[in-house]
Chain A
Amino acid sequence: MQSKKTVVSKMITYGMVILAFVIVFALDQSGLISRHMRSMLVPIGINIILAVSLNLTVGFLGELTLGHAGFMSVGAYAGCLFSIYTADLLPLAARFPLAMLLGGIVAAVFGIIIGVPVLRLKGDYLAIVTLAFGEIIRSVIINLNFTGGASGLKGTPQDSTYPITFVVILIMLFVIMNLVESKHGRAITAIRDNRIAAEACGINITYYKLLAFVVAAFFAGVAGVLFGHNYSILTAGTFDYNMSIEILVMVVLGGMGSIRGSIIAATVITILPEALRFLEDYRMLIYAVVLIIVMIVNASPRFTGMRDFLSPKTWIAILTKKNNGKEAA
């Protein structure tokens, strides 16, 4: 049984994504959207998938991992190689979903391989080990021949479009939000809140940790496939630790454990460096300043009023209070 509150919250999330898509689609159809903006729609979608899936491990499970880009790259290479070899055999409608599924599964398998030994580590140690795995994956990809090595993998059909990305986002939201609301999800958050107490209640820590980790890896792989099919070249250098950190920035900025926050933050963080292009040489400097200010405003106790503005609770509180016609305190 889901409470009324969570149902409303979920509906708001779906509604927000669908509304955003409808607006963008309408603008695009009427030609009101710039090419620049349009070319960023798929990257925004990809980052949303990455951020929400990473939120599952960082926000809900409470484990800091810095290897999300590694899973993404494994998925990307698997999916792209599949598409390259089956480009003439399968129609797009069959090939692309299969490529995504394959990319996701391969990433999930890597998630299991990596997750089993390392998930017993905690905090910064887990962070550094996942970062290390990400870098190992990158290093190995550069040294393999069938991945194109340092020259990059070329010839992937450019199949990614923003409507497809939108559909994937909806599927991901459906899976992750249901997982979080389910018994499994409650077990996962129980581990975050108090591991020892959770264990005492008979929750299988290893299993649930791995579950969250693998689901996150799966969607990172899917995002990787979308990424790989959006450009004519895939280079291993793209997936370095900086990318993992960027995804982490989205999660933290959006609020740990807030799916809607991740969606908004992923959008903002993707657009921000592009929107700052008019600053020319000062672009990355201002980007850094904005990042610092936003983090301070968002997370500092001094700005309590702003801290929770991305979390569902606040939104629901505002909505219900509005309905009651009361002034928010």
Chain B
Amino acid sequence: MKKYFAMMMAAVMAAACFTGCGSSSSTEGTEGGDGATTEGGATIVIGGIGPLTGDYATYGISAKQGAEIAIEEINEAGGVNGVTFQLLFEDDQADPSTAVSAYNMLMDDGMDVSLGAVTSGACIAVAEESQQDGILLLTPSGSQKECTQYDNSFRICFQDPDQGTYSAEFIKDNGIAQKIGIIYDKSNDYSVGITDSFEAKAAEIGLEIVTKQAFTDQSNTDFSAQIQAVKDAGAELLFLPIYAQEAAYILTQADKAGLETIFFGVDGMDGILEKIGAENQALTEGVMLLTPFAADAQDEQTVAFVEKYKAAYNATPDQFAADGYDAIYTIAAAFEQTGLSSADDEGFNEAMIAAMTEITVDGLTGTMTWTADGEPSKSATAVVITDGVYKAYGLE
């Protein structure tokens, strides 16, 4: 008898798994936030994918939350052309294969426009699928070149190599330093991409790279050896093409080791003030970074966004949140441009893709237009952290 019971249990478990899978489509709408209630009007379903759990969770969660704020705002204002927006956001743990599963699930749930994926690798895998479906893909933060290799794919953030090139030029043009040390994340495509282009540009314009130190995701908390090497090499400036999380470790350990260089980061370093914590704020004094978004900016749009974000999630928004927010507004703008009345209209996908190169979006991360390659044209500004506040370079 026991064994029959056991088999029954097994069958029930297996059945639960399968039905759980099938019924997932019926739960759609639970993620859309308060603004997603549709009252008879048509809805455009935007599907996002990003790491909500795992080591990279912080990036996915930020992008999701930024996007949620935008959705809420647009829907509160009555939507676009009478159409409201709904956001479905799925977890991929920054893994390409999981991202593809999530993408297919979103397609089952009626996704009209894809936000691609938050991380590059996952985004490239998703871009391949979306190209076959022909829907518009607009990634908030997939920075590798291949993320937008197809005609249907666009991005909000910078492409990796651009930032490296721009950083090198900026350092040279402003005469900030001549001897450069680099600490970068060898296991991260974003970091490697920027480092490569930075090195190439530096060689071209005559900046001297005195040392280049790597770390990986297996050892990203102890940087004493790298910092010692930078110190020994006599670098004047330490270029950090990495994310804020590791940068916080490096800044605190550099302080302990007595490393006194200029620190220069890129857009991934945004959020450093939050990550390093109030009691370590003094360590960020004089840190420079290139960023298209600064949570401390005083323009009306940013102030309003930061206020709402803090109220909703009890955290300061970072670069990823701003990218997510801008992505939703860009999709709304593209839809407005098409003049269509719903996502079911004929030629919706083609019209959306065509609209992307026609619109200009004044977002949190700058005023953007897009080329057919999917690249946004916008400029990064260099800021210097002064007394825990971002100040534009030269004005501090």
**Contact indicator A272/B17 (Cβ below 8 Å):** yes
In the assembled complex, A327 has its CB within 8 A of some CB on chain B: yes
Residue A95 interfacial (CB < 8 Å) = no
For B21, give the chain A residue with the smallest CB separation: A275
- Select A238's contact among B30, B96, B105, beta carbons within 8 Å: B96
- Could you tell me if B95 and A238 are in contact, using CB atoms closer than 8 angstroms? yes
Q: Which of B33-41, B184-192, B248-256, B297-305 contacts A (4 or more CB under 8 A)?
A: B184-192
In the complex, chain A residues 191-249 whose Cβ is within 8 Å of any chain B Cβ = 227, 230-238
Of the candidates A43, A142, A327, the one whose C-beta lies within 8 Å of that of B1 is: A327
Query: Are B144 and A151 in contact (CB-based, < 8 A)?
Result: yes
Interface residue? B367 (CB, 8 A): no
Number of B interface residues in the complex (CB < 8 A): 58
A35 contacts chain B at the CB level, 8 A cutoff: yes
CB-based contact B121/A233 at 8 Å: yes
Q: Measured between C-beta atoms, what is the minimum distance from B331 to chain A in Å? A: 22
Q: Could you tell me if A35 and B108 are in contact, using CB atoms closer than 8 angstroms?
A: yes
Q: Is A88 an interface residue (CB 8 A)?
A: no
- Asked whether B20 is an interface residue with its Cβ less than 8 Å from the other chain, the reply is yes
Question: A39 contacts B20, CB within 8 Å?
Answer: no
Contact segment of B5-13, B204-212, B225-233, B279-287 = B5-13
Q: Which residues of A contact B189 (CB under 8 A)?
A: 149-152, 235
Chain B residues in 8 Å Cβ range of A281: 52
Contact between A150 and B21 (Cβ–Cβ < 8 Å)?
no
Q: Do A318 and B3 touch (CB < 8 A)? A: yes
Cβ-based interface call for A139 (8 A): yes
* Chain A proximity of B151: nearest CB distance (Å): 16
Residue of B25, B100, B187 touching A34 (CB-CB under 8 A): B25
Contact A278 B24 (CB under 8 A): yes
In the complex, are the beta carbons of B17 and A284 less than 8 A apart? no
| Nearest residue, chain B, Cβ from A43 | B97
B24 touches A36 (CB 8 A): yes
Interface status of A299 (Cβ within 8 A of chain B): no
Q: Is the CB of B2 within 8 A of A305?
A: yes
Known: A39-B104, A230-B97, A232-B125. A309 touches B216 (CB 8 A): no
**Contact partner of A151 among B16, B52, B192, CB < 8 A?**
B192
Residues of chain B touching chain A, judged by Cβ–Cβ distance below 8 Å, are 1-7, 9-10, 13-14, 16-18, 20-25, 27, 30-31, 52-53, 90-91, 94-97, 100-105, 107-108, 120-121, 124-125, 127-128, 144, 146, 185-189, 191-193, 216-218
| 18 A-B pairs (CB sep. < 8 Å) | A34-B105, A149-B192, A150-B188, A152-B96, A231-B100, A231-B128, A233-B124, A235-B96, A275-B21, A276-B20, A278-B23, A278-B27, A283-B53, A284-B91, A306-B2, A309-B6, A328-B2, A328-B3
